[in-house]
Amino acid sequence: MSPRGQRRIDEIGEESRRRILDAAEELFADRGFDRTSFVDISERSGISRGSIPWHFKNKDGLLLAVVDRANQRYLSLDHFSDRPALDEVLQQFGLLAREAAGRLMFAVLTEAISSEGIVRDEYQAHHAEQRRRIAHWLKVMGVRSASRRESLATAITGSVMGVALMWQVDPEGVDLEGAYQALATMVHSHIGA
């Protein structure tokens, strides 16, 4: 096969993968993980049901790929300056909460809480990484105690998730930006920044 022909096959594969991910993200966010089947994803994406496991192995693998893509879209280090302000980080969380990917994160959280296995392990690793990043930011901001940084990182992560969840349930009653700004103010006053 010519390099040009192989390149075209790769492009078709990437397009199929993107369409499957788009459909799965929407359906997982709207219906939940358990109530979404490969048939549903196939119908929404226009890609044959048999192609889904070829791209993602199984439903758990597809879910993890959807979550990874959402994290890259909103929470990748590429979105932040070398030394991001907490407000900058919270702004990205606010953007994530407003998208289908925000609802998806809670669908995945529900799956992670109610099961053992790869989804739980990956979600646990995702949150450990988020806490590690926040703890690093706190270190840069001058919090010297490692245990205090870890506790604050856990509290910040939990607060961000809780506010986003409340906004998902009651978007008219919860001021997402105002709550994140209040969180930033509290953290800054607590660390003396």
Domain boundaries, the chain: 3-191
Task: Using a cut of 0.75, tell me whether the model's pTM lies above it.
Answer: no
> Rg of the chain's alpha carbons, rounded to an integer?
19
Q: What is the pLDDT of residues 34-93, one digit of tens each?
A: 889 999 999 999 999 988 988 888 888 888 888 788 777 766 655 555 666 777 777 777
With H, G, I as helix, E, B as strand and everything else as coil, classify residue 145: coil
With H, G, I as helix, E, B as strand and everything else as coil, classify residue 179: helix
> Residue 52 corresponds to which tokens in the numbers above?
């889904």
What is the identity of the amino acid at 54? Answer: W
Cα–chain center distance at 99: 10
Structure-token match 């407003």, residue found: 98
Q: What is the pLDDT of residues 124-175, one digit of tens each?
A: 887 888 888 888 888 888 888 999 999 999 999 899 889 988 988 899 999 9
Quickly name the fold that domain 3-191 has: Tetracycline Repressor; domain 2 (1.10.357)
